[in-house]
A = this chain, B = another copy of it.
């Protein structure tokens, strides 16, 4: 008898047959007496179909109207899933983001959730109905439809779980859970039974792609127990927990993330004065472009290089902005390199274990991989390298830290 929020992604609801299978899954939970709130994405392919329609009209579709358009995708799924539940004799009611009042800010196509009105949902649960909510969408204060950006359905689910104080938020996906690294790159990648929020946060943001980063942030912030599991196969998945697994006496590395769709921008020869990083990065951020790894090196001649990475898709736009900035700062040049990738080691155990970085660098050196940028945090070491070395680097690290071993998390002694 628990209150569970379940999220099913586009692949899980990609056809009527799959929607029926999801309904069967939900029915089992209902039979156990659980209260279920379901968050669904658009049927796989639908968002792309709608995006293509918009692009037939204009290259840069109006963000407000893009949200009106894309939000229909999830709306179709909620209706169909409710029908499938009703057919099985289970009461079900669908709601758009606007209807349960998932209140967001006004940033169309990448809005952030501010507040959720849980009263309407509780009223439905009391009437023994399954509540099916359209993920990825909300409304702003003025009542305009907003979307949370791709993958935003995870965030919707976690935010709902937080607002409802749910016992667990289950993210159903097409993978079995969180692995030590991408199984397509390393055959011996191992499913983790548990991982901490902090680790998951780093892995998600660095490209493990199982969960949207904002969903993990939300879950951590509001202490929502989060579980990633497969729609198609049985299994407990991976629990994302607040605490480190105490059984792991000597953990160090949880996993290795890699990200390919990055690009590196360097503004070379800017004056070495306070605030210069802001003057360079500020205009890029202001355009809504997310800036990732940032490094700054002062040269002896009193100038400075500012280097950072952005999503590859946004790199041309960033370059154009920087060209203007560079002119006003009298910088020497702006260099864009699209052929890079990022590989990161993540693990809460790093905090207390020296020698992780040197072991990492050694493993890469043995493969003759040149490191372009290094950044570190308490639980993560990221390197930027040439894109072509991505798989080689991940495999070398996975092996060096012995992650395929079931006790591998403890083995970097």
Contacts and interface: CB of A to CB of B under 8 A. Distances in A.
A62 B86 contact: yes
Contacts of A93: 64
Contacts of A92: 65
B56 A82 contact: no
B58 A68 contact: no
A66 interface: yes
A285 to B, nearest CB: 26
Contacts of A16: 53, 56-57
Contacts of A69: 75-76, 79-80
Nearest to A70: B79
Interface string A82-100: 1110110000111010110
A78 interface: yes
Interface residues of A, number: 38
A20 interface: yes
A83 B61 contact: yes
A143 interface: yes
Interface string A143-174: 11100000000000000000000000000000
A82 B99 contact: no
A323 B189 CA distance: 67
Interface secondary structure of A, over-half rule:
helix
A71 interface: yes
Contacts of A68: 75, 78-79, 82, 94, 96
Contacts of A20: 57
A65 B53 contact: no
A53 to B, nearest CB: 6
A72 interface: yes
A66 B79 contact: yes
A382 to B, nearest CB: 39
A120 B62 CA distance: 20
A65 B87 contact: no
A54 interface: yes
A270 interface: no
Contacts of A242: none
Given A62-B82, A68-B78, A98-B98, 4 more contacts: A65-B78, A71-B75, A75-B75, A96-B145
